[in-house]
């Protein structure tokens, strides 16, 4: 009888533990901003010639304009900075894997505002998409904001690398791109 009572108590204890919910981490992992070229603001601003993309081979003047997304990144957010307020420019955004060709995501038209970045320069605050070729939605945050930090976000869809090259710029001043993922 004593053995039966012990077995019943053990079973009840197991049932209580089995019914207790296990905490699940439902918070999206937050990551830092990364510069495409480096985290040194003085060396990040580029010109059109420095990020030239050939249309036949989809190769770039420098791999420094390509960011390898860590495995934890399912989605990315890009922000753009310029050396001077009111500068206009167009970035072309591509993604690719290490063993395949580049895929066009979109072109981003931008105008730099007056919000000063702690990384150097000023943020582009007016953003619009051109040639949106991506399979899922591209979200513009604070696009057309008055001196804010404009950003675009999109799902990587399994691609490893993100390329953001300066296609055109309204004057000799450069732009740069920062990226973070979630």
Task: Read off the pLDDT of residues 124-146 as tens digits, 9 standing for 90 and up.
Answer: 999 999 889 999 999 999 866 78
Q: Is residue 18 part of a domain?
A: no
Q: Which residue has the higher pLDDT, 99 or 153?
A: 153
Q: Is residue 16 part of a domain?
A: no
pLDDT digits (tens, 9 = 90+) for 24-41: 445 555 677 877 655 444
- Domain membership of residue 139 as a residue range: 26-181
Q: Is residue 4 part of a domain?
A: no
- Count of domains observed in the chain: 1
Q: Is residue 156 part of a domain?
A: yes
Q: Is residue 3 part of a domain?
A: no
**Do the beta carbons of residue 168 and residue 89 sit within 8 Å?**
yes
pLDDT digits (tens, 9 = 90+) for 55-91: 555 555 444 567 888 888 899 999 998 888 898 888 8
> In this structure, what are the phi and psi dihedrals at residue 99, rounded to the nearest 5 degrees?
-120, 25
Q: Is residue 17 part of a domain?
A: no
Which helix (H) or strand (E) segment is 81 a member of?
A: strand 75-82
- Cα–Cα distance list, 141 to 13, 39, 152 (Å): 51, 23, 6
11, two tokens: 């079973």
> In this structure, what are the phi and psi dihedrals at residue 14, rounded to the nearest 5 degrees?
-60, -40
Q: Is residue 1 part of a domain?
A: no
Q: Is residue 125 part of a domain?
A: yes
Mean of the per-residue pLDDT values for the chain? 77
State the pLDDT confidence band at 54, using cuts at 50, 70 and 90: low
């Amino acid at each position: 009888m004593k053995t039966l009572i012990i077995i019943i108590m053990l079973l009840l204890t197991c049932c209580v533990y089995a019914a207790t919910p296990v905490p699940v981490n439902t918070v999206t992992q937050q990551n830092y901003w990364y510069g495409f070229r480096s985290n040194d603001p003085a060396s990040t601003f580029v010109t059109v010639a420095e990020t030239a993309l050939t249309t036949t081979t989809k190769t770039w003047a420098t791999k420094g304009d390509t960011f390898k997304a860590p495995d934890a990144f399912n989605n990315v957010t890009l922000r753009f900075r310029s050396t001077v307020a009111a500068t206009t420019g167009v970035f072309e955004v591509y993604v690719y894997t290490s063993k395949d060709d580049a895929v066009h995501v979109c072109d981003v038209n931008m105008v730099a505002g007056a919000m000063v970045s702690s990384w150097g320069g000023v943020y582009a605050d007016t953003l619009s998409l051109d040639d949106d070729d991506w399979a899922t939605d591209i979200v513009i945050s604070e696009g057309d904001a008055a001196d804010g930090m404009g950003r675009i976000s999109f799902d990587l869809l399994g691609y490893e690398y993100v390329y953001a090259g300066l296609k055109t710029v309204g004057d000799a001043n450069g732009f740069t791109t920062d990226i973070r993922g979630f």
